[in-house]
Structure 1
Amino acid sequence: MSAVRGRRRIPPVAFGETRAPEIPAPSLARRLRAWPRDLLKQALHEILRRLPVGFAPRLGRLLAPLVQRMNGSRIFARRIAWNLDRLHAAGPLSGTAHAEALARWWKGAGAVFAEYATLERLGAAGRLEIDDPEGSIAALPRDGPAVFACVHLGPFELCFETILNRLGREAVGTWQPEPSNASNAILARLRARYGIFAFPPGQRSARHLHRLVVTEGFDAILFVDEVRDRQVHLPAFGRDLPARGNAVTAVKLALKTGAPLVPVHVLRTGTAQYRFVVGAPLVFDREGLESLAVSGGVVALDRYFDPLVRAHVEQWYMLPELRLPGFVARPPGDAAAQ
């Protein structure tokens, strides 16, 4: 049976199962080069934790133009610019409009990094609005799980924290580790503070998720725009829909448990002001062959999140990981690209 803390169950799994595997440094020289940067990152996080909640996103936005200039010629930065123009609701953008939209994306990304330091304080500080126009929260099952599908809009970690602590749900999730031991350590400490059990990729994590949701009745929180095979597969933006990954897992869990499949997302509405939006449970045919039901659920996810991401693409963190057809990594004469 699950342990109980107050009126909320704690998943019967060691919290260490949620930690990212340690990334081995390939050489002593690279470890020495990374050490000052990692130390600065962790020190800055601890300082921002102790400052007013509005300071962190302002600092992230302030530093963003410098980071943008430092990376402007790199392939991932050019991919951001290319994807932004093709997905933007007002696109194709003029030169000035494109530059302004691109600057807003970088400032938002900078704020995301800084906001990790204040995340668990935002609700208590009155900075988080919960928007539930369809009354979906009141209709969530009390004696069984719900499956929440999210995308990386705004300070997306708030999906975890809000569902767990503002909605009062018993929930577990999955996450993709960062390519930095220091960043992963920061995330582990953050999640230990506010209480989410989110598991990294792997078969053991998949077994934990299945048992906790299907057998124990915990909610699932899954980001359906995750990176897999160096690519974001959903929203599909006209490409083939994924046959595996988090979107498929979310639908299968909903089918297995009879749980509602509830789309949620976060938007930044001002400096240190946020809105958590709960959509109506997605409707798709759950009867008949499982393969058709799964496909129908993935179609429903894509239909919901495609226009949403396009409408708020300047807040979509996954632009550098999206590989749409037609992007040229190294234009002719661009030998300096990395």
Structure 2
Amino acid sequence: MAEANKKAKSVPAKRSAWVYSAPAAPPLADLFASADRRRAAFRYHVTENIQNLLDLAVHFGLKAMPARVCSAAGARLGAFVMPRWHKSAVKKAQKNLERLLPDATEEERDRILKRNWQNQGRIMTELSIVGRLARRVVWHNLNYFTEAHAKGPVIMVGMHLGNWEIYAPKLVELGLSPSANYTPPAGRARAWIAERVRRKLGYGLMPPGKEGIRPALKILKEGGAISVFCDEGFAGKIRGPFFDRPPHLEGNLAVVVRLARLTQATICPGYILRKEGAHFEAFALPPITLPPENKPGERLIDDVLLLNSVIEPVVRAHLDQWYFLDNAL
């Protein structure tokens, strides 16, 4: 791995900017236009609105359930849906487990995969009760966050483990109130639900992709906090962690270290694990202050590898709770 990393340092991949654009709504007049436009308009204004009503009914129905029942329903749903209607994703997850856990038996990898299905299902239903779940978390080493924030701007680096949505209430309680890049999920009702939940939790929402860089810089230069997840899947492919692949500059690992360099921000990693059912344990990790460099950008790959070295071992140790396990490596 060390040799591969050294080779990659000399020819780092250039990060391409991603610009998000929301899908446009076809005008109602298209319901009486050509066949293609009529189908698109009918799908948007009729078919998708039926799904939107169903999504809203499920969301508010789940809010009325006890937390353990809501979470358990998601576990059953995930275990039922994933192997039946997401077979391609299941195959990718199986391949990843074989690669990442070569010494595990087939039975051990199968148990990890099934726990992953349950966790994914729980995350979906638990979005309705995030505020209540936040009271079921045991936190460790929160002083890492507060001490770093007292010194200046911070970049909170989370991981898609357990249920990461319950990260926000504690950060708000500590006075950090981070802003985060936000890519709306598919479906207008789901996008509205996700944005509503995050705003109620106290998150500030920045535009996704390239458009979020300028607001992030402004917040950090004013001494504030932002939240970025550096384990990520993009277009169905895992961009971080590297998992023994050559390092690159095409993901949030590079975004975070660049922002930290530009604003002298401290990087504060942390993660949340599911312990049992709807109960969680959360860990703040030691803050990362990037080493000095003689000229801007000379340590970019080293900085990215440093941040990856903190994130990757945590994700590897908890693949049963990792959201992007079924993305391609």
TM-score (norm 1): 0.80
1:63 matches 2:77: yes
Mapped pair 1:127 → 2:133: no
Q: Is the 8 A contact 2:169 2:201 kept in 1?
A: yes
Residue of structure 2 equivalent to 1:94: 105
Residue 275 of structure 1 deviates from its aligned partner by 1.6
Matched, 1:114 2:120: no
- What does 1:158-307 align with in structure 2 at a 5 Å threshold? 158-165=166-173, 167-214=174-221, 216-228=222-234, 230-307=236-313
Q: Is the 8 A contact 1:60 1:107 kept in 2?
A: yes
User: Residues of 2 paired with 1:109 and 1:212: CA distance?
Assistant: 32
Alpha-carbon distance in structure 2 between the residues aligned to 1:314 and 1:171: 27
Paired residues for 1:315-334 under 5 Å: 315-321=321-327, 323-324=328-329
Does the 8 Å CA contact 1:247/1:298 hold for their aligned counterparts?
A: yes
Question: Is the 1:20–1:184 contact (alpha carbons within 8 Å) kept by the matching residues of 2?
Answer: no
| Offset, 1:315 | 0.4
The residue type equivalent to 2:163 in the other structure is P
| Structure with greater proportional helix content | 2
Tell whether the 8 Å contact from 1:171 to 1:221 is kept in structure 2 after alignment.
yes
Identity, % of aligned positions? 25
Question: 1 CA distance for matches of 2:21 and 2:232?
Answer: 16
Return the alpha-carbon distance in structure 1 between the equivalents of residues 227 and 233 of structure 2.
16
Partner of 1:146: 154
How many angstroms does 1:57 deviate by?
A: 1.1
- The unaligned stretches of length 5 or more in structure 2 are 1-19, 27-38
Q: Give the direction of change, closer, same or farther, for the CA distance of 1:245–1:145 in structure 2 (3 Å limit).
A: same
- Cα deviation, residue 72, structure 1: 4.9
How many aligned positions are there?
Answer: 297
Task: Report the Cα distance in structure 2 between the residues aligned to 1:222 and 1:72, rounded to whole angstroms.
Answer: 28
Indicate how the Cα distance of structure 1 residues 286 and 234 shifts in structure 2: closer, same or farther if over 3 A, else same. farther
Q: CA deviation at 1:138?
A: 4.2
Which residue of the partner structure matches residue 68 of structure 2?
54
8 A Cα contact 1:20 1:200, kept in partner: no
Q: Is the 8 A contact 1:234 1:242 kept in 2?
A: no
CA deviation map 1:214-250 (0-9, x unaligned): 2x22111101123345422211011122214322221
Q: Distance in 2 between matches of 1:151 and 1:204?
A: 22
For 2:183 and 2:104, locate their aligned partners in 1 and report how far apart those are by CA, in whole Å.
Answer: 32
SS at match of 1:122: helix
C-alpha distance 242-283 of structure 1, shift in aligned 2 (>3 A): same
- How far 1:264 moved relative to its partner? 0.9
Displacement after TM superposition at 1:92 (Å): 4.4
Q: Which runs of 5+ in 1 are unaligned?
A: 1-18, 325-338
- Distance in 1, matches of 2:151 and 2:286, equals 19
- 2:228, 2:252 within 8 Å by CA — same for their partners in 1? yes
Aligned equivalents of 1:283, 1:81: Cα separation in 2: 36
Question: Residue 298 of structure 2 aligns to a residue in which SS?
Answer: helix
Match of 1:83 among 96, 114, 124: 96
CA distance in 2, matches of 1:248, 1:118: 33
State the partner residue of 2:55.
41
1:260-319 superposed Cα distances (whole Å, 9 cap, x missing partner) = 111111111111111221000125423222223332221111111111111000100012
Displacement after TM superposition at 1:29 (Å): 5.0
The answer as to whether partners of 2:137 and 2:279 remain within 8 angstroms in 1 is yes
CA distance in 2, matches of 1:190, 1:147: 21
Alpha-carbon distance in structure 2 between the residues aligned to 1:161 and 1:291: 35
